[in-house]
Amino acid sequence: MIRDTLANSHHYQNLPDGVPEALDYLRRTDFARTADGQYELDGDRLVAIVKHCRTRPPDQAVWETHRRHIDVHYMLEGVEDVGYLPWHEGLAVRRPYDAVNDGTVFDARGELFEVPAGSFVVFTPDDVHAADVCCGETTATVRKVVIKCRIAGG
C-alpha cells in the first residue's frame, strides 16, 4: 500500500502495471469538467471510475482484495477513512473470489486512516482494503476517482 498526495506522485513513476499512467491521468485531468462515469484510459487495462459516493460507518466497511487489478484511489472532494490490512493466511473469507468483479471479501478489521482531498492510495493484490468509510460518526458524500490498473497477465 502507498499513501501520499498527488503533489508527490512523480516519486512513483517506476511502479508496474499502469500505476504511473494512472497517476499521470490524475495530474493532468480537470475533474471539475469531468462528469461522473467510467472512462477507459487504455482499453480495459486502465479504467477510471469518477464518482460521488456516500461514506459508511466502520462496522459496514467492505474489506476486499483483487487478483487482477491494482487500485488507485484519489480523493477529489471531501474526506474519507480508508482501511488497510496486509493479506495473510487464515484471514476469514466472507465471500469467496468472484472473477466477474475481481474481488474476495473478508471478515476483517484493520487500520483506518484519513484520506483528504488531494491524496491518493495505491492498493496491490496483497492489500486487504476498505474504502468509503466515514470519518468519525457522521456519513458524508465525497467525490473520488478509482482507477483499476490490470496487472500484466491478469
Q: Are 72 and 127 in contact (CB under 8 A)?
A: no
Phi/psi of residue 115, each to 5°? -125, 100
pLDDT of 90 reads 85
Q: For residue range 11-26, list pLDDT tens digits in order.
A: 999 999 899 999 999 9
Q: How do the domains of the chain map onto residue ranges?
A: 2-150
The answer to whether the Cα torsion of 9, 47, 45, 94 is positive or negative is positive
Q: For residue range 92-137, list pLDDT tens digits in order.
A: 999 999 999 999 999 998 889 999 999 999 999 999 999 999 998 8
Q: For residue range 58-97, list pLDDT tens digits in order.
A: 999 999 999 999 999 999 999 999 999 988 888 999 999 9
In DSSP terms, which residues pair with 133 in a beta bridge?
56, 81
Q: For residue range 102-112, list pLDDT tens digits in order.
A: 999 999 988 89
Sheet containing 111-116, strands listed edge to edge, beginning at the edge strand earlier in sequence: 93-98, 103-106, 63-65, 127-133, 79-86, 111-116
pTM value is 0.94
Domain 2-150: what homologous superfamily? Answer: YhcH/YjgK/YiaL (2.60.120.370)
**Mean pLDDT score across all residues of the chain:** 95
The pLDDT confidence band at residue 30, using thresholds 50, 70 and 90, is very high
